[in-house]
């Protein structure tokens, strides 16, 4: 069991690591494009390294350059057949998106992943890609990794998405961009739109009409510059820290503020939380600084369309329920059950350890404010990076009576989480 000394507060200015979603896509589009793509400030973590290795297996070169890489590729028309199984490690984004990226390439490829990823649903991408003519076989009656992609002749299609998932949408779009013909994808809720923005930048014929994305595929993509902003989902832990530690005041620099990602700010505003955003000018993805001070706040209900825009921040929001003046209720979040862990079960396990009053729903949870400090709590990360980071925050908030079983999993998205926290903590 790991413990941390109790800290009094957090104060100062930090930068968080680069955006995981945008780094994955920069590496993938760099490989799909012809020529050189300069990727500046990519996130180097377990998840994004899995994507980089997969792109190398298809023939892309990653040449180290100042603060990043130049990805050099002959483009999607010249992808190699991978000579071995592709290991997506813990990364759902890698597995889902490259299913779509490889499907039209006319190669035989096998994808697998770690224990957690091999339990996560793949049917959600297999189904729409099959409607576009792909041939795929997967374990467990076509639902789980390992997944085999067979050469096929794919075609455009009109697809209505069944899952509120940017990963599913992106798998379809990365395939559609390569296929001669017209594809539309209509999503059930607006999810993160980094793939749409980046495909356009790389020269794809793509447009968006409400919740429908339209792609006329088969055009070559051209290498370009991709500068990766700080990850809002990593910044979120420090927004949370500001609300958890009395006297806190934090500025987080260079954060991606794409509205399809910042649902946490919308939810917190509805709880009465005040913060400042200072946007930078002339950036492809909206970007800026977040300034927030400790303050008291009420709880509230978070549900409906907003859920897709704070999907990775929902466990944090649940933990904030401990410190709110009234309960926090999260609904319509069934997707949390199939993340790196069952994040409803994992979050509630830890909150209950801390002595909180909670309620569990199939699609969410309700957390009541903590009435007294925990006497003793053994938290578990469930080998899920985001649950591990929240556990670390609780350890630092309550001191050595709270412990966590492992924290190595933070390497998946935020390898230097503890050292950045240490930069701004007051003991």
- Contacting range for ligand S3P; rule: CB under 6 A; set: 112-120, 161-169, 269-277, 295-303: 161-169
Whether residue 19 lies in the annotated active site = no
- Residue whose tokens read 């290498």: 223
- Contacting range for ligand S3P; rule: CB under 6 A; set: 68-76, 78-86, 165-173, 376-384: 165-173
- At its nearest, how many Å lie between ligand S3P and the CB of residue 131? 19
- At its nearest, how many Å lie between ligand S3P and the CB of residue 337? 12
CB of 135 within 8 A of CB of 126? no
Q: Select 111 or 395, whichever has its Cβ closest to ligand S3P.
A: 111
Q: Which of 47, 114, 231, 312 is catalytic?
A: 312
Contacts (Cβ under 8 Å, ≥6 apart) of 16:
230, 231, 234, 235, 238, 252, 254, 255, 414, 420
Per rule CB under 6 A, is residue 21 in the interface with ligand S3P?
yes
Residue 146, preceding peptide bond in cis (omega within 30° of 0): yes
Angstrom distance (rounded) from CA 376 to CA 245: 19
CB of 424 within 8 A of CB of 250? yes
Q: Name beta bridge partners: 73.
A: 35
**Range list of β-strands (E), 233-353:** 249-256, 275-279, 287-293, 300-302, 328-330
- At its nearest, how many Å lie between ligand S3P and the CB of residue 194? 7
Per rule CB under 6 A, is residue 335 in the interface with ligand S3P?
yes
CA 294 to chain centre: 26
Angstrom distance (rounded) from CA 250 to CA 111: 41
- At its nearest, how many Å lie between ligand S3P and the CB of residue 413? 8
Question: What is the number of the residue whose Cβ is closest to ligand S3P?
Answer: 21
For residue 409, give the DSSP letter. Answer: G
SS (H, E, C) 249-272: EEEEEEEECCCCCCHHHHHHHHCC
- Contacting range for ligand S3P; rule: CB under 6 A; set: 1-9, 100-108, 125-133, 163-171: 163-171
Element (H, E) at 167: helix 166-176
- Per CB under 6 A, contacts with ligand S3P among 80-119 are 93
Q: Which of 16, 28, 166, 227 binds ligand S3P (CB under 6 A)?
A: 166
Q: Select 92 or 321, whichever has its Cβ closest to ligand S3P.
A: 92
Per rule CB under 6 A, is residue 234 in the interface with ligand S3P?
no
Number of neighbouring beta carbons within 10 Å of residue 118: 16
Per rule CB under 6 A, is residue 165 in the interface with ligand S3P?
yes
Per rule CB under 6 A, is residue 51 in the interface with ligand S3P?
no
Per rule CB under 6 A, is residue 403 in the interface with ligand S3P?
no
SS3 percent helix, strand, coil of the chain, rounded to 5, is 35, 25, 35
Per rule CB under 6 A, is residue 167 in the interface with ligand S3P?
yes
- Per CB under 6 A, contacts with ligand S3P among 290-319 are 311-312
Chain positions contacting ligand S3P, by CB under 6 A:
21, 24, 93, 165-167, 170, 191-192, 311-312, 335
Q: Which residues are catalytic?
A: 312
């Amino acid at each position: 069991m790991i413990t941390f000394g109790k800290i009094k507060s957090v104060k100062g200015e930090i930068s968080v690591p680069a955006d995981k979603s945008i780094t994955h896509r920069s590496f993938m589009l760099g490989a799909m494009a012809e020529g050189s793509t300069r990727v500046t400030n990519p996130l180097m973590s377990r998840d994004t390294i899995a994507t980089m290795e997969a792109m190398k297996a298809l023939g892309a070169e990653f040449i180290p350059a100042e603060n990043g890489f130049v990805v050099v590729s002959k483009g999607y028309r010249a992808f190699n057949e991978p000579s071995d199984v592709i290991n997506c490690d813990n990364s759902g984004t890698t597995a889902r998106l490259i299913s779509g990226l490889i499907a039209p390439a006319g190669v035989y490829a096998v994808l697998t992943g770690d224990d957690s990823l091999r339990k996560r649903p793949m049917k959600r991408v297999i189904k729409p890609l099959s409607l576009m003519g792909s041939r795929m076989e997967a374990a467990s009656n076509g639902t789980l990794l390992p997944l085999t992609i067979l050469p096929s002749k794919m075609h455009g299609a009109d697809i209505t998405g069944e899952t509120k998932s940017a990963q599913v949408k992106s798998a379809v779009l990365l395939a559609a961009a390569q296929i001669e013909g017209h594809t539309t994808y209509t999503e059930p809720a607006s999810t993160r739109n980094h793939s749409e923005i980046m495909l356009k930048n790389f020269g794809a014929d793509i447009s968006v009409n409400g919740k429908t994305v339209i792609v006329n595929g088969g055009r070559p993509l051209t290498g370009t510059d991709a500068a990766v902003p700080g990850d809002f989902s990593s910044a979120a832990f420090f927004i949370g820290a500001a609300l958890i530690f009395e006297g806190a005041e934090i500025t987080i620099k260079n954060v991606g503020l794409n509205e399809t990602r910042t649902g946490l700010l919308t939810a917190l505003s509805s709880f009465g939380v005040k913060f400042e955003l200072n946007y930078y000018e002339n950036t492809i993805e909206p970007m800026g600084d977040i300034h927030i001070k400790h303050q008291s706040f009420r709880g509230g209900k978070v549900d409906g369309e907003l859920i897709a825009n704070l999907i990775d921040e929902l466990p944090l929001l649940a933990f904030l329920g401990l410190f709110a003046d009234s309960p926090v209720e999260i609904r319509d979040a069934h997707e949390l059950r199939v993340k790196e862990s069952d994040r409803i079960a994992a979050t509630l396990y830890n909150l209950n350890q801390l002595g909180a009053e909670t309620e569990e729903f199939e699609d969410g949870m309700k957390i009541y404010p903590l009435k007294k400090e925990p006497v003793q709590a053994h938290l578990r990360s469930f080998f899920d990076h985001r649950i591990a980071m929240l556990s670390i925050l609780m350890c630092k908030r309550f001191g050595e009576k709270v412990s966590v079983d492992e924290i190595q999993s933070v390497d998946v998205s935020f390898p230097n989480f503890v050292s950045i926290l240490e930069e701004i903590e007051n003991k």
